[in-house]
């Protein structure tokens, strides 16, 4: 019989390495940037009537006083008689037009200035979509997103503690599940930061949706293993708690891997063939799926074992920030 529990410290070490790589990716510039939903600003989706070079768009925006604008090419599209070129441009919050007492435009808005300036310097603009978020709204979005994640974690802790209330130390199961989902979220953020150095990725609302989805998936996978541990403990399967956990992992591993592999195929197809709009969400789900499957086997269940065997206390006493008893 495979001994997964006996190798628990190897799993913890492997997770620590992945987390440290993610922390390094967050610390080394260029680091993750928030989208305008979180930082405030304006965005323009511009469709030029003809292909335009990216460098020319950058030059034109600099001449219009927006040299710090983030410019991304969305791609070419073929119409009935011409090829159009699409760009996504993100800038600071653009001011609107200045009106006189009669409602007439005295000074045109910055959006209109950019639209006219790009048309004059490059090629005519076929379509333009404009979106703007004020810094106040952006700060509220950040706060609400943080509250949503914290509330989800607390509800998971309370629910699992209640669900396993009929067995001794049910609170440990709740804490172990929270440790596993925090492990998954940290790895997702770290890998996301690492990937952002090679492809364009931002923290946006789709990212938060993905994180909350991963929290749900991670808990679901963990509860399956925990429930089998509870059943085997009641039936007396295994000579010790360590052995009971190992048997439970082996019994549920097939189900976990089959479910994860099925989802993995779907998410991989979305990454390859899906649009750029859902790419941040799919990347979060893809990384979180792998991390959640791993943590249910190698983190959450193993955490129960080291707590039961008293190894957790010995580990904490070795930390320099934890004072030792005299």
Average pLDDT over residues 203-226: 84
Q: Are residues 151 and 22 in the same domain?
A: yes
Q: Are residues 141 and 61 in the same domain?
A: no
Residue 323 pLDDT exceeds 70: no
pLDDT of residue 81: 64
Q: Are residues 189 and 262 in the same domain?
A: yes
State the DSSP code for 3: -
Alpha carbon separation from 66 to 48, 77, 92, 130 (Å, rounded):
19, 26, 8, 16
pLDDT of residue 11: 92
pLDDT of residue 241: 87
Average pLDDT over residues 176-182: 91
**Positive or negative CA dihedral for 157, 162, 167, 169?**
positive
Note whether residue 170 is domain-resident.
yes
Rounded distance, CA 105 to CA 113, Å?
13
pLDDT in tens, 89-128: 888 888 887 877 777 777 888 888 888 888 888 888 888 8
Q: Are residues 100 and 70 in the same domain?
A: yes
Q: At what angle do helices 241-273 and 205-235 cross, to 10 degrees?
A: 150
Binned at pLDDT 50, 70 and 90, residue 135 comes out as: low
Binned at pLDDT 50, 70 and 90, residue 179 comes out as: very high
pLDDT of residue 79: 62
Pair 12, 302: CB distance under 8 Å: yes
Mean of the per-residue pLDDT values for the chain? 83
Q: Residue 47: CA atoms inside 13 Å, Cβ hemisphere, count?
A: 12
Rounded distance, CA 219 to CA 325, Å?
35
Rounded distance, CA 31 to CA 146, Å?
19
Between 104 and 16, the more confident residue is 16
Q: Are residues 179 and 218 in the same domain?
A: yes
Average pLDDT over residues 15-32: 88
Residue pointed to by tokens 């510039």: 29
Give the CATH number, domain containing residue 96: 3.30.70.260
Q: What predicted TM-score, i.e. pTM, was given to this entire model?
A: 0.73
Binned at pLDDT 50, 70 and 90, residue 20 comes out as: very high
Q: Are residues 192 and 94 in the same domain?
A: no
Backbone angles phi, psi at 293, to 5 degrees: -65, -45
Between 325 and 216, the more confident residue is 216
Residue span of the structural domain in which 94 resides: 41-133
Q: Are residues 160 and 308 in the same domain?
A: yes
Q: Are residues 52 and 158 in the same domain?
A: no
Note whether residue 307 is domain-resident.
yes
Q: Are residues 75 and 153 in the same domain?
A: no
Residue pointed to by tokens 């789709």: 206
3-class secondary structure, 237: coil
Between 138 and 202, the more confident residue is 202
Note whether residue 325 is domain-resident.
no
pLDDT of residue 325: 54
297, with CB counted inside 10 A (0-12, 13-18, 19+), is buried
- Cα dihedral 208, 214, 220, 221, rounded to 10, equals -170
Rounded distance, CA 164 to CA 176, Å?
12
Select from 96, 115, 133 the last residue of a domain: 133
Note whether residue 324 is domain-resident.
no
Residue 322 pLDDT exceeds 80: no
3-class secondary structure, 16: helix
Q: Are residues 52 and 189 in the same domain?
A: no
Looking at the DSSP bridge assignments, the partners of residue 202 are 33
pLDDT of residue 18: 94
Select from 101, 133, 165 the last residue of a domain: 133
Rounded distance, CA 198 to CA 138, Å?
26
Pair 107, 97: CB distance under 8 Å: yes
Select from 100, 133, 166 the last residue of a domain: 133
Give the CATH number, domain containing residue 217: 1.20.1640.10
Instruction: Give the pair of three-digit tokens for residue 240.
Output: 């010790």
Between 243 and 108, the more confident residue is 243
Rounded distance, CA 186 to CA 17, Å?
12
pLDDT in tens, 258-314: 888 888 888 888 878 776 667 778 888 899 999 988 998 899 999 998 888 887 677
Looking at the DSSP bridge assignments, the partners of residue 129 are 45
Looking at the structure of the chain, the number of domains it has is: 2
pLDDT of residue 186: 92
Binned at pLDDT 50, 70 and 90, residue 13 comes out as: very high
Residue 15 pLDDT exceeds 90: yes
Note whether residue 95 is domain-resident.
yes
Note whether residue 248 is domain-resident.
yes
24: left (phi over 0), alpha (psi -120 to 50) or beta: alpha
């Amino acid at each position: 019989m495979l001994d997964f529990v006996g190798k628990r410290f190897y799993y913890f070490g492997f997770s620590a390495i992945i987390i440290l790589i993610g922390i390094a990716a967050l610390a080394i510039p260029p680091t993750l940037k928030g989208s305008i939903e979180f930082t405030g600003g304006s965005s323009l989706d511009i469709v030029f009537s003809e292909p335009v070079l990216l460098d020319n768009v950058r030059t034109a925006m600099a001449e219009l006083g927006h040299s710090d604008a983030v410019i991304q090419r969305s791609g070419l599209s073929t119409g009935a008689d011409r090829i159009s070129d699409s760009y996504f441009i993100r800038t600071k919050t653009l001011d609107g037009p200045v009106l006189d007492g009669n409602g007439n435009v005295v000074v045109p808005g910055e959006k209109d200035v950019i639209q006219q300036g790009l048309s004059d310097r490059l090629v005519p603009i076929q379509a333009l979509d404009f979106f703007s978020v004020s810094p106040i709204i952006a700060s509220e979005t950040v706060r609400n997103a943080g509250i949503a994640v914290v509330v989800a974690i607390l509800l998971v802790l309370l629910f699992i503690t209640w669900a396993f209330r009929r067995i001794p130390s049910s609170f440990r199961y709740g804490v172990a599940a929270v440790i596993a989902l925090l492990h998954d979220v940290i790895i997702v953020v770290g890998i996301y930061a690492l990937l952002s150095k090679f492809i364009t990725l931002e923290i946006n609302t789709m990212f938060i949706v993905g994180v909350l989805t991963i929290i749900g998936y991670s808990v679901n996978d963990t509860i399956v293993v925990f429930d089998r541990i509870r059943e085997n403990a009641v039936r007396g399967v295994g000579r010790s708690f360590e052995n009971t956990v190992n048997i439970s992992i082996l019994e549920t591993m097939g189900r976990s891997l089959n479910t994860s592999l099925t989802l993995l195929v779907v998410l991989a197809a979305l990454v390859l063939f899906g649009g750029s709009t859902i790419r941040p969400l799919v990347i979060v789900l893809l990384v979180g799926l792998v991390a959640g499957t791993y943590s249910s086997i190698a983190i959450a269940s193993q955490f129960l074992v080291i707590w039961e065997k008293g190894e957790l206390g010995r580990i904490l006493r070795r930390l320099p920030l934890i004072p030792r008893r005299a």
